[in-house]
Amino acid sequence: MAYMIYKIFWICLASLALSACQTTSKLEKNDAPIESIESADDTDIVEADTEQLGFIDTVPPVNSAEEEILPEEEPVVAVTKPKAPADIWERIRAGYQLNLDIDRPRLSSQLRWFSSHPSYLDRVSKRGERYLYYIVDELEKAGIPTEIALLPIVESGFDPFGYSHGRASGPWQFIPSTGQMYGLDQTWWYDGRRDIIGSTQAAIAYLTRLNKMFDGNWLHALASYNSGEGTVLRAIRKNKKAGKPTDFWSLDLPKETRAYVPKLIALAKIIKNPEKYNYSTYFIPNKPYFDVVNIGGQLDLAQAADMAEISIDEVYLLNPGFNQWATSPDGPHRLLMPISKAKQFRTKLAEIPSNERVTWVRYTVKAGDNLLLVAKQHNTTVNVLQDVNKISSTMIRVGQELMIPVAGNKIESYTLSSHQRLLAKQSRAPNRNRIKINYTVNAGDSLWLISNKYGTDSKTLARWNNMGLADPLMPGKKLVVWLEPKPSESGTRSVMKKVVYTIRSGESLAVVANKFKVSINDIKDWNPKVGSQKYVQPGDKVTLLVNVVGG
């Protein structure tokens, strides 16, 4: 029986093998063979007909555990990254988002002015060379139109020390209140409105908020940046109520704001197509100009310049937020350095002990001293003296010793500190033959009262003294007034010359006035210090404006 079962098994196995051979033979004899897809040309590939090839239905599904049909792999294509533009202006053009296809009289007048002043465009471009790469980089990260990188030209001409009569300061021209709103501290040591990093971040935050407020309308946002969102919102409501359009060009806005937005658009159009306006852009490399170095504490800026082997002016131009001879003791504890000097600066900074980063003097309090007087004498503040010497009040005693941080170099060498910039501003005469008056502010004085006394206006007086119209006038503050020669009353030609005259023994102001044919009141106006005295003394010097032609 076992033998019979064994025989039947082998007969069945042989039958199955024979059947398989016959099926293979039929397929091989088919008149239309199927070529491999891998060897076929694109023109030979046709869609399979499942009715003719019935065995295809027997192919297992692709998710079968027994067999898996894999799709043909796509060829790998190497993606070449676009080369970054060499020129920052090309990068700025690539990020434009505003509609520049505008034809308005206000825009045309701005285009005419800018295109006829190529030297001005070159000048502001050179000023902005230190900052443009950083600004463009930050605008791109925030998704803001890169035309906004030109806004500091409209605001300040890329002057980081720019200060307007409206008390706006820095490259982005923040007024004190808006600056504080966006975290820009303003102290004796430091003004964040001029800090390149701080003010740029604040401008981006402010512009982003304004853009959202006006539903993505950048022209409304820019107008609001100039005159305040309340001004623009009121103008929009007024036009809606009157049934008028509410686009920027239709709004009744302040004169300055009506020109502000066209200025930016005009600049953007010129940068987009400089050849059309007969201008060639000043080349600015599309690469970082500065590196940010963490200094960890207060540092004398002259010492920083020496370590980096750059000029003190370059330190201030990269770090214009610092008002004095050193960084602020309260921070920010960072310095921007030219990227080529940053490594060297870091190395030398690490070698200097923390107590040698500023110069210290030991001062012994004398009779009549007070903390404010000592602070002024050493170009520092009461708060710094209190903090350094662990003093909780302003009371000091004779013989007490104070440690005072002082400038390591002569104070005049810190040419772009706040005080030195003011002195330079006050020394620049508006034109020739004007006489300079040093005026000391008295209690109750105002810019209007002083300017009215000397025949000028408040805005001009403020500009001469690098002030805003609303800046406080403290008694004792020194102001400069530039007096203009009075026209000759006789109608004869006059050529005015400035003369410094030394009072001689026995002379009075009346004698001097008669000698030079001027009035006593003029002499007193030209010389407030001498004019306030009851009598003049031999050796006193007076400045006079004398008509050398009219006798």
Which residues have a catalytic role annotated? 155
What is the tally of helices (H) and strands (E) in the chain? 22, 8
How far is Cα 48 from Cα 242, in angstroms, rounded to an integer? 72
Bond from prior residue into 288 cis (ω within 30 degrees of 0): no
User: What is the longest distance spanned by two Cα atoms in the chain?
Assistant: 163
> How many other C-beta atoms lie within 10 A of the C-beta of residue 540?
18
Amino acid at 210: L
Q: Which residue, chain included where needed, has tokens 């006035």?
A: 513
- 274 secondary structure, DSSP code: G
Amino acid at 519: S
Measure the N-to-C terminal CA separation of the chain; round to a whole number of Å. 158
Instruction: Name the E strands within 471-515.
Output: 478-483, 496-502
Residues ≥6 apart with Cβ < 8 Å to 231: 223, 224, 253, 254, 257
Task: Look up residue 80 and give its two tokens.
Answer: 């070449």
**C-alpha distances in Å from residue 293, one per residue of 171, 308, 416:** 21, 11, 21
Amino acid at 457: D
